[in-house]
Structure 1
Amino acid sequence: MTTSTRERIVSESLRLFADRGYAATSVAEIEAAAGLSPGAGGLYRHFRSKEEVLASAIREHIERTRRQISDVLHNATTYEDRPLEIRLRMTCQAGLAKMREEQDLIRILFRDLDQFPNLVAEMREGIVNPLYDGIATWLSQQPEFEGIDEDWPAVASVLGGAVVNYWLANESMYEPPTRIDEKRFVSSWARLGLGLVNLEHAPAP
């Protein structure tokens, strides 16, 4: 598939912002990375400013996230024939994969986005909250949890937060917390999810 000039500018700018920082990346460097003549103003034929390039990148990621969540929820019944623990592991793995997919944007968020509170709000409302809402919806739709009176948004906050924390610790400190590898983390995450079923059927004290 052919990549348009606009798409190349967005993709390369995001990579440069993540690697070097927003302020340290010049328009000419973005143009060169996107295959344009550096300093010739090619970027301005597609965007009014460097900030608009960043905003466009964030909005494209928001739209992609919305499509991904919609697809996951639409196909929520596809794997109902598999044990719940397997479905939980798959969900955890999908969460970690999403963090890896968004790693450049996350680096920019922590390094530079305090300069742009409006873009932080867009990321929060367009990517972060919908992901947690998606986890809550997915959990509530699992047959094993049917009839369980549970605060699914709060449970999603705990389980989703664990995925985010694990990935961030691995990313920022170059190894996972207490060297727990991903396979062990995913397995334990799934067992925590299974505990919701087990607690529901536990004898009253």
Structure 2
Amino acid sequence: MTAAMDLFGRQGYHATTIAQIEAAAGLSAGAGGLYRHFRSKRAVLEEGLDRQATAGRQLLSYLAVEPAPAGRRERFLAVARAGLARLEEERDVNRLLLRDLASFPDLLDLVRERELRRVHLAVTEFLRAELPGEEDPEALAAVVMAAVSHYWIMADVFGGKHPHEVDTERFLRALVRVVVPEDLFADDVVDGGGVDGAT
């Protein structure tokens, strides 16, 4: 499974052959060893997506954990960092999502239902709790997820370095300033919830 998902991520599902998967997994290439474990190449892909659906607990767990870091900006920064880390951990599946899953509408629906909606709901609830005055936390969650995802995608496409040459920390802190306005940040200071001086 690991070998297959790595190949799918690097060269694409359609360009990857069963023989390549077998060779990468230490089986005799072309001897059919993969079929002792999976009925087809698609079955390998389905299993990889199932694994992703059960992953991501770090991000979702963080969103539900109390106590969190002091200060709204620090809590949001921690969530955004966890989101980027999750995207990187699931790099191969994310590449598949962008490049290959349009060929499998049913699997694309699966990712939307079991992964994207689940994370969107968790981020929405986090924002609703953190920003009670926000008029549309669902839309804001979509904006935040889009920003973090796009940053990761562009960095991945350009070999790990974002084309705008804005490093990860600068990006995340700018995003935090946009999402958590200065007046709410001031409330944190008044309430005594210390915030990192670099924020």
1:103 equivalent in alignment to 2:88: no
Relative to structure 1, the CA distance from residue 197 to residue 62 in structure 2 (aligned partners, 3 Å threshold; closer, same or farther) is farther
**Aligned pair in 2 of structure 1 residues 119, 171: CA closer, same or farther (>3 Å)?**
same
One-letter identity of the residue aligned with 1:163: V
- CA-based RMSD: 2.1
Deviation readout 1:28-53 (Å, 9 max, x if unpaired):
22112112222222211111100010
Counterpart position of 2:43:
52
Q: Retained in 2: the 8 A contact 1:85–1:194?
A: yes
Q: Deviations over 1:129-177 (max 9, x none)?
A: 22221111112223xx34x252111110111111111111222234425
Counterpart in 1 of 2:139? 154
CA distance in 1, matches of 2:141, 2:134: 14
**AA at the equivalent of 2:91:** Q
Answering whether residue 192 of structure 2 is matched by residue 192 of structure 1, we say: no
Work out whether residues 166 and 177 of structure 1, in 8 Å CA contact, stay in contact via their aligned partners in 2.
no
Equivalent-residue separation in structure 1 for 2:46 and 2:184 (angstroms) = 45
SS in 2 for 1:187: helix
Could you tell me the percent identity over the aligned residues?
A: 35
Aligned residue number for residue 12 of structure 1: 3
CA 39–125 in structure 1, closer or farther in 2 if over 3 Å, else same? same
Alignment of 1:22 with 2:7, yes or no, is no
Cα distance, 1:68 vs structure 2: 3.8
Q: 2:100 aligns with which of 94, 98, 112?
A: 112
Matched residues, number: 185
Instruction: Measure the CA separation in 1 of the matches of 2:63 and 2:77.
Output: 16
TM-score, with structure 1 as normaliser: 0.81
Question: Residue 17 of structure 1: SS of its match in structure 2?
Answer: helix
Question: SS where residue 137 of structure 1 aligns?
Answer: helix
Give the Å deviation of 1:196: 8.2
The residue identity in structure 1 corresponding to 2:34 is L
Is structure 2 residue 37 aligned with structure 1 residue 78? no
Which residue identity is paired with 2:2? S
* SS class of match (1:48): coil
Aligned counterparts, 1:125-144, within 5 A: 125-142=113-130
Cα distance in 2 for residues equivalent to 1:197 and 1:60? 41
Q: Supply the distance in 1 between the matched residues of 2:98 and 2:5 (Cα, whole angstroms).
A: 14
CA drift at 1:185: 0.7
**Structure 1 match to 2:195:** none
- Tell me by how many angstroms 1:105 deviates: 1.0
Contact 2:59 2:86 in 1 (8 A): no
Distance, in Å, in 1 between the alignment partners of 2:113 and 2:40 is 24
| Structure 1 unpaired stretches of 5+ | 1-9
Q: Give SS of 1:179's match.
A: coil
Report the Cα distance in structure 1 between the residues aligned to 2:22 and 2:111, rounded to whole angstroms: 25
Q: Gapped runs of 5+ residues in structure 2? A: 188-199
Check the 8 A contact 1:47/1:53 in 2, yes or no. Answer: yes
